[in-house]
Amino acid sequence: MTRFLVLFATILVALFALELSRPAQAAFVLPWTAALAHISSGLVSLFDSDVIAHGKVLQSTRNGFGVSIEAGCNGIEASLILVAAMLAFPARWIHRLVGIAVGLVAIQALNIVRLVTLFYLGQWSLRAFEWAHLYVWQALIMLDALVVWLIWVRKLPRETATPAHAG
């Protein structure tokens, strides 16, 4: 357990340092954040034509309300925590890679639901928006990462030791 915790903390610090670097921000974080706004806009536009995305902002053309997707709201931090946990846990690499891929999809899918619900909640009530944004959705995204990791750990195949050959 100590090995896992030390490895997890080390990987997590390295991933967060990498994420905060200018090259990673420019090459990945900012484009991903803008892509989230456009994905959310595309989904919303299926049933509401009064939405646009520009940069990292999802905005209503009807009333002008918009949500700006900032650091901490793009699902990257929760994703990094999940990746660090899966890399630190003793498992075969193929299981880690599959778990990371499925986990990233799960976190980002829920994050898109988060963005769309906050977009509509903010148009209805700014007070409700703030509460949901700061308390409900922050916790749910982190809980999603934890649940995905726990399911992954539970689904890992049990490694069976091969019996020694009798001499």
Residue 126 CA to residue 113 CA, distance in Å, equals 18
* pLDDT digit string (tens) for the chain, length 167 residues: 899 999 999 999 999 999 999 999 999 999 999 999 999 999 999 998 999 999 999 999 999 999 999 888 899 999 999 999 999 999 999 999 999 999 999 999 999 999 999 999 999 999 999 999 988 998 999 999 999 999 999 999 886 444 454 44
Provide the CA 39 distance to its chain's centre, in angstroms: 15
Q: How many CB atoms lie within 10 A of CB 154?
A: 7
Q: How many CB atoms lie within 10 A of CB 122?
A: 20
Residue 8 CA to residue 82 CA, distance in Å, equals 10
